[in-house]
Amino acid sequence: MSEIVNFLNRGAAAITPAITERVAKHLPQWKLEFTQIHAPLFPHLVDQLEFLADAVEDTAEGAYKDLPYYALAQATFALIYAHKKVGIIPDSVLNLGRADDSSIVRAALIQNEKAFALYAATQNMEWSLVTSHP
């Protein structure tokens, strides 16, 4: 998992406020696309992507101002990565195509668990339902 964390950290380091704003504009469409993900081996992936999308959207719109920028950058990178069809493992690979997406998303959630748990609480979400565990 340390390679995934390093990959996430490097990707998040390149995220700027301008990139986050551009991603936020696409999130309504991306959320619809995320609901179409069929990944039975990664049952929490769709909910976790929706959670990260909500956090990025709320932060970018100024509705939530307490998410640390590092968490925002990692969430933004994870969303961009999951949206792309080609990654470390292409999404078209049967049964494993979403393993890399799930790993990146989980790494972002785990590294920023306290910040995201606080966000979930302010949104009346049950953090355990967005679990960072597989």
Which of 15-19, 35-39, 43-47 is predicted with the least confidence, judged by mean pLDDT?
35-39
With a CB cutoff of 8 Å and minimum separation 6, the contacts of 68 are 112, 115
- pLDDT for the residue 24: 96
The answer, yes or no, to whether residue 48 has pLDDT greater than 90, is yes
With a CB cutoff of 8 Å and minimum separation 6, the contacts of 74 are 8, 9, 12, 15, 107, 108, 111, 112
Question: For the chain, what percent of residues have pLDDT higher than 70?
Answer: 87
Mean of pLDDT values over 5-19: 95
The pLDDT tens digits of the residues spanning 58-72 come to 999 999 999 999 999
Mean of pLDDT values over 110-132: 89
Helix axes 45-60 and 99-111, enclosed angle (nearest 10):
50
pTM metric for this prediction: 0.89
